[in-house]
């Protein structure tokens, strides 16, 4: 009953039309004139409502072609086909209901993300974000110690209570000793993630079974889930170029319908023939099926863990012919393994390897650079070992905390901050020594032995003194080679690696994953230049529909569509330079994801061919729905022109055509790639 009432509120005129039809049926035998007046009044209301909708469509930049419905209603009434007039009105409002259902179904995956947005937060009254102030955890806190506010009322450094089953309201830092979080709303990760004190928490994550405390480090408007919602709303409100073209193609279809109807009337001399043709004229395959298919494709991508900024991304994804990959963190794992700590040839500090790692890891916790993950993990291990030794000695007062303050990152260079009162810099040699780019790696040779081809390093200074070199190894992702093979099987044979690393180390990874075209030793501007040059080449093999479709949306069929897949901060300008910039993240905010046109939220490189396959199927389904729908409508109009379809039957046949094309468009939601 509730569902029926909700449906009636959404499409009240459909309910009114059905009721009017029932009353007309009861009155048709003895009170036909009354029934005629009922349908006449219904038609008048429908005309006013339809004209208002047409004006609103034009005002919002859409083509208002409901003129077909208006003329069809008037023509059936003019030839005294009252039941046909009622049937056309019924079709208009049932079509609106079907469209609403289709749009809702197509965008269900996107609206689910919006519905999961955090709404409230529990703020401790007078709380400050110092972990030491809450060393006893939440056991002593009572409900009276905190107040519930909307998320937009949370301030920086507020201490928040997150209860079991609740959503983390804003980005922050865990104060409690540990927590278990479900990140499936953010990145689709099926396994809950264990967090320890000091871990970064992202809004949108769902708490497990234990209440915990956290410190707010971002306002609600700047938090991770709000950025996800921005992408979702952008995709929902956008209209792809091919959908805008479909709107325009509805105009010549309308003209064609009037021509067929007019010729049928003139040749036959029967006015009813005009109405017979127009009741079968439906531009819905263009006006509804096309946008429904693209919205369904956007939802499919979201379900697969890929968020797009606009629906135009789907068009370009389906036409990608050259894919560029960054190496570190994209083709390789996000956490290169720390293999050793090298001390300088002439050490001036008395720090041990674990102290160096713990200090470096403390500042790298706030970095978004891909190497930071490995350093942070090694630093956490070193910190725990030092703290265990301090506890074992009974010297709890000297327990090393390694808390970072005033951390800032310089894109592509390194990160600096203060740890336990010391100035720490971690990054490139010339950055940490503040010697200028001209010194480069040559300066490090004076202090350290040469690295192996597959090794990489981050240098550390403490209070301006060179403390050591953190050496790491990079390994390919487990499914990187398979991803490359799948892309080749899909016909995307132009695959390249762009990296700032040395050619020797780049070639090792490229050989392991199956990429032959390698460009090494590049700065971001060099990567962008290579992508720009590639876009001017002939695209080679394309999907079968591409050349035909691009003629309608006004793009060159000879243009190569480039995709850049990357992750680190230094990838941001390169992602923006490609036709499709695809950022691989684990759900955290990065400069890469802000400059990309699409974002993989689940840190899975296999999503690259998956996204292309979904985009291709979306475009294919859209074309099928449009061609089948328009084909059936045209055949129906021709049959009606020869008096093969009665006017009342034609009105219901038109609705059947709409249902077929819309359901076909909704099949883009099905997992058949």
Q: Which helix (H) or strand (E) holds 301?
A: helix 290-303
Task: Report the pLDDT value the prediction gives residue 472, as an integer from 0 to 100.
Answer: 87
Query: Angle of helix 224-237 relative to helix 108-115, nearest 10 degrees?
Result: 150
203, 18, 190, 192: which is closest to 116 by C-alpha?
203
Q: Is residue 622 part of a domain?
A: no
Q: Is residue 209 part of a domain?
A: yes
363, 335, 337, 369: which is closest to 426 by C-alpha?
363
User: Helix or strand or coil: residue 289?
Assistant: helix
C-alpha 516: how far from chain center = 30
Domain closes at, from 421, 448, 476: 476
Averaged pLDDT for residues 280-286: 79
Q: Is residue 298 part of a domain?
A: no
Task: Report the pLDDT value the prediction gives residue 374, as an integer from 0 to 100.
Answer: 84
Q: Is the pLDDT of residue 667 over 80?
A: yes
507, 67, 518, 116: which is closest to 325 by C-alpha?
518
Contacts for 411 with CB less than 8 Å, ≥ 6 apart = 569, 570, 572, 591
Residues 437 and 342 grouped into a single domain: yes
pLDDT, greater one: 369 or 492: 492
Distance, in Å, from the CA atom of 146 to the CA atom of 176, rounded to the nearest integer, reads 16
Q: Is residue 370 part of a domain?
A: yes
pLDDT tens for 153-174 read 999 888 999 998 898 999 888 8
pLDDT tens for 192-249 read 777 877 788 888 888 887 889 999 988 888 877 777 777 777 766 766 666 666 777 7
Residues 497 and 580 grouped into a single domain: yes
Q: Is the pLDDT of residue 611 over 90?
A: yes
Give me the CATH number covering residue 177.
2.70.150.10
Residues 398 and 373 grouped into a single domain: yes
Residues 138 and 182 grouped into a single domain: yes
The rounded percent of the chain whose pLDDT value lies above 70 is 81
Could you list the residue range(s) of the whole structural domain that residue 513 is in? 305-332+477-614
Q: Is the pLDDT of residue 307 over 60?
A: yes
Contacts for 452 with CB less than 8 Å, ≥ 6 apart = none
Q: Which helix (H) or strand (E) holds 296?
A: helix 290-303
Residues 468 and 368 grouped into a single domain: yes
Give long-range contacts, CB 8 A cutoff, 24+ apart: 355-358: 355/382, 355/386, 356/460, 356/462, 356/467, 356/468, 356/470, 357/381, 357/382, 357/470, 358/382, 358/383, 358/386, 358/400, 358/402
The rounded percent of the chain whose pLDDT value lies above 90 is 16
Domain closes at, from 452, 476, 500: 476
Q: Is the pLDDT of residue 560 over 80?
A: yes
pLDDT tens for 599-609 read 888 888 999 99
Q: Binning pLDDT at 50, 70 and 90, where does residue 437 land?
A: very low
Q: Is the pLDDT of residue 143 over 60?
A: no
Domain closes at, from 458, 476, 494: 476
Residues 424 and 484 grouped into a single domain: no
Pairing of strands 494-498, 465-473: unpaired
Averaged pLDDT for residues 179-201: 76
Residues 447 and 412 grouped into a single domain: yes
Contacts for 300 with CB less than 8 Å, ≥ 6 apart = 109, 614, 618, 668, 669, 671
Query: Among 401-405, 429-433, 483-487, 553-557, which is the least confidently predicted range?
Result: 553-557
Contacts for 347 with CB less than 8 Å, ≥ 6 apart = none
Q: Is the pLDDT of residue 490 over 60?
A: yes
Residues 338 and 465 grouped into a single domain: yes
Q: Binning pLDDT at 50, 70 and 90, where does residue 151 land?
A: very high
pLDDT tens for 69-122 read 778 878 888 888 888 888 878 877 777 777 777 777 766 666 767 777 788 899
Distance, in Å, from the CA atom of 473 to the CA atom of 460, rounded to the nearest integer, reads 17
Strand partners of residue 581: 564
For residue 402 the two structure tokens come to 């390694």
Residues 458 and 543 grouped into a single domain: no
Averaged pLDDT for residues 424-433: 90
Residues 394 and 520 grouped into a single domain: no
How high does pLDDT run on average in the chain? 80
Q: Is residue 93 part of a domain?
A: no
Give me the CATH number covering residue 357.
3.40.1110.10
Give me the CATH number covering residue 562.
3.40.50.1000
Q: Is the pLDDT of residue 137 over 60?
A: no
Domain count, the chain: 3
Asked whether 460 and 432 are in contact (CB, 8 A), the reply is yes
Q: Is residue 546 part of a domain?
A: yes
Residues 564 and 471 grouped into a single domain: no
Residues 437 and 536 grouped into a single domain: no
User: Helix or strand or coil: residue 47?
Assistant: helix
Averaged pLDDT for residues 644-666: 86
Q: Binning pLDDT at 50, 70 and 90, where does residue 397 land?
A: low
Distance, in Å, from the CA atom of 213 to the CA atom of 130, rounded to the nearest integer, reads 11
Whose tokens are 């040395």? That residue is: 502
Distance, in Å, from the CA atom of 180 to the CA atom of 571, rounded to the nearest integer, reads 31
Q: Is residue 584 part of a domain?
A: yes
Distance, in Å, from the CA atom of 425 to the CA atom of 465, rounded to the nearest integer, reads 10
Q: Is the pLDDT of residue 480 over 90?
A: yes
User: Helix or strand or coil: residue 309?
Assistant: coil
CB atoms within 10 A of CB 7: 15
pLDDT, greater one: 518 or 228: 518
Pairing of strands 455-462, 465-473: antiparallel
Averaged pLDDT for residues 477-501: 92
Q: Is residue 133 part of a domain?
A: yes
The length of the chain is: 673
Q: Binning pLDDT at 50, 70 and 90, where does residue 439 land?
A: very low
Task: Report the pLDDT value the prediction gives residue 438, as an integer from 0 to 100.
Answer: 40
């Amino acid at each position: 009953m509730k569902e029926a009432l909700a449906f009636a509120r959404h499409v009240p005129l459909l309910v009114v039309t059905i009721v009017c039809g029932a009353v007309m049926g009861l009155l048709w035998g003895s009170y036909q004139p009354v029934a005629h007046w009922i349908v006449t009044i219904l038609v008048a209301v429908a005309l006013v409502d339809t004209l208002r909708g047409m004006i609103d469509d034009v005002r919002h930049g859409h083509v208002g072609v409901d003129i077909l419905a208006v003329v069809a209603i008037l023509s059936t009434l003019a030839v005294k086909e009252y039941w046909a007039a009622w049937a056309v009105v019924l079709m208009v409002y049932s079509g609106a209901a079907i469209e609403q259902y289709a749009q809702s179904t197509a965008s269900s995956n996107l609206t689910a993300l919006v519905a999961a947005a955090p709404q409230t937060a529990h703020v401790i009254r007078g709380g400050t974000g110092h972990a030491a102030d809450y060393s006893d955890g939440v056991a002593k806190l009572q409900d009276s110690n905190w107040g519930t506010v909307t998320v937009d009322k949370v301030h920086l450094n507020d201490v928040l209570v997150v209860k079991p089953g609740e959503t983390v309201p804003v980005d922050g830092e865990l104060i409690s000793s540990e927590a278990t979080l479900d990140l499936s709303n953010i990145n689709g990760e099926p396994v809950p993630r264990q967090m320890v004190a000091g871990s970064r928490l992202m809004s949108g994550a769902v708490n497990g079974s234990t209440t915990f405390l956290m410190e707010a480090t971002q306002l609600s408007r700047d938090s991770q889930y709000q950025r996800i919602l921005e992408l979702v709303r952008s995709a929902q409100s956008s209209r792809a170029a091919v959908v805008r073209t479909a709107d325009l193609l509805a105009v010549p279809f309308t003209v064609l319908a009037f021509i067929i109807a007019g010729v049928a009337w003139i040749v036959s001399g029967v006015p009813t023939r005009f109405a017979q043709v127009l009741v079968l004229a439906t531009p819905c395959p263009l006006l509804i099926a096309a946008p429904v298919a693209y919205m369904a494709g956007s939802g499919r991508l979201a379900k697969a863990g890929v968020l797009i900024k606009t629906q135009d991304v789907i068009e370009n994804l389906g036409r990608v012919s050259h894919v560029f990959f960054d190496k570190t963190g994209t083709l390789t794992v996000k956490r290169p393994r720390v293999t050793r700590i090298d001390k300088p040839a002439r050490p001036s500090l008395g720090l041990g390897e674990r102290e160096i790692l713990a200090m470096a890891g403390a500042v790298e916790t706030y970095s978004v650079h891909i190497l930071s993950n490995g350093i942070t993990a090694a630093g956490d291990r070193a910190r725990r070992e030092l703290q265990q030794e301090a506890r074992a000695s009974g010297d709890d007062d000297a327990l090393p905390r390694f808390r970072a303050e005033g951390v800032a990152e310089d894109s592509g260079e390194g990160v600096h901050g203060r740890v336990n009162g010391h100035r720490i810099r971690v990054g490139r040699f010339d950055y940490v020594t503040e010697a200028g780019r001209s010194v480069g790696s040559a300066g490090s040779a004076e202090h350290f032995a040469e690295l192996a081809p597959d090794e990489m390093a981050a240098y550390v200074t403490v209070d301006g003194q060179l403390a050591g070199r953190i050496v790491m190894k990079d390994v390919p992702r487990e499914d990187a080679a398979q991803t490359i093979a799948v892309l080749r099987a899909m016909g995307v044979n132009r695959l390249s690696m762009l990296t700032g690393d040395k050619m020797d180390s780049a070639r090792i990874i490229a050989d392991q994953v199956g990429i032959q075209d390698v460009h090494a030793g590049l700065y971001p501007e060099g990567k962008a230049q290579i992508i720009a040059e590639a876009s001017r080449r002939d695209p080679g093999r394309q999907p079968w529909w591409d050349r035909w479709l691009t003629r309608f949306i006004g793009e060159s069929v000879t243009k190569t569509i480039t995709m850049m897949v990357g992750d680190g901060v230094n990838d941001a300008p390169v992602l923006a330079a490609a036709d499709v910039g695809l950022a691989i993240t684990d759900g955290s905010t990065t400069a890469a994801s802000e400059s990309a046109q699409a974002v993989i939220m689940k840190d899975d490189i296999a999503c690259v061919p998956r996204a292309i396959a979904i985009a291709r199927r979306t475009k294919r389904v859209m074309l099928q729905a449009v061609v089948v729908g328009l084909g059936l409508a045209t055949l129906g109009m021709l049959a009606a022109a020869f008096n093969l379809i009665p006017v009342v039957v034609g009105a219901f046949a038109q609705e059947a055509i709409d249902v077929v094309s819309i359901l076909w468009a909704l099949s883009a939601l099905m997992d058949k790639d």
